[in-house]
Structure 1
Amino acid sequence: MKLSKQEFLSRSGLGHETLTAWIEEEWLIPDGSSVEASFSDIDIARARLIRDLQLDFGVNDAGVGVILSLLDQLHGLRRTMMALRRAGRITSE
């Protein structure tokens, strides 16, 4: 489901400035141009994760960047493993 920028802000509870900063940091990467950006439910979950890391765990901006990078790498590896499994190159035990 694609969400407009305004819908995303409403559902995520973020302000415009925070969203702009997170996009500049590439913590969130919307589809489309900055004027007609669209977001997904995954972006909502990622925004909530970022907010939880900052507010609940006290993670600073540099730490958030590292954590998001590691999570993205993990998800990329999972996709690769699933593709290899589907191709029959690895088996699950």
Structure 2
Amino acid sequence: METREFISRSHLDAATLNAWIEEEWLMPLESGSTRQFSDADLARALLIHDLKVDLGVNDEGIAVILHLLDQLHGLRCLVRDIHAMEVSDRTGGGT
């Protein structure tokens, strides 16, 4: 989704969105002057909003939380890949 739709769906203002992108809390795909946001970006923006507004987490805390979530996601992907390789080896699909 493009910036206008993302702002509408996330209920963010442009200044907040730009600040979060500068902090690298959100990293949309950029092509020239156009930004493309994914559904994952939207979920992340809603999480950041909840952390800030509902839970009162400060910016440093949000950075730590997002870093830990990114690490967890990476580990989940790694475990999934290892599991898939093990299944493939057991069924004779390995090399």
Q: TM-score w.r.t. structure 1 length?
A: 0.90
1:19 aligned onto 2:14: no
Deviation of 1:33 after TM superposition, in Å, equals 3.7
Aligned length: 87
Give RMSD over aligned pairs: 1.2
More helix as a share of residues:
2
1:55 paired residue number: 53
1:83 paired residue number: 81
The one of 30, 34, 40 equivalent to 2:38 is 40
1:56-82 per-residue CA deviation (whole Å, 9 max, x = no partner) reads 110000000000000000000000000
Give structure 1 regions of 4+ aligned residues with deviation exceeding 4 angstroms. Answer: none
Change (3 A) 1:15 1:67: same
Bigger Rg over Cα: 2
Distance 2:13 2:70 in 1: 24
Q: What is the percent sequence identity of the aligned residues?
A: 54
Q: TM-score w.r.t. structure 2 length?
A: 0.88
Q: Which stretches in structure 1 are left out of the alignment for 5+ residues? A: none
Q: Which stretches in structure 2 are left out of the alignment for 5+ residues? A: 88-95
Distance 2:12 2:64 in 1: 21
Distance 1:15 1:39 in 2: 15
Deviation of 1:35 after TM superposition, in Å, equals 1.8
Secondary structure in 1 matching 2:82: helix
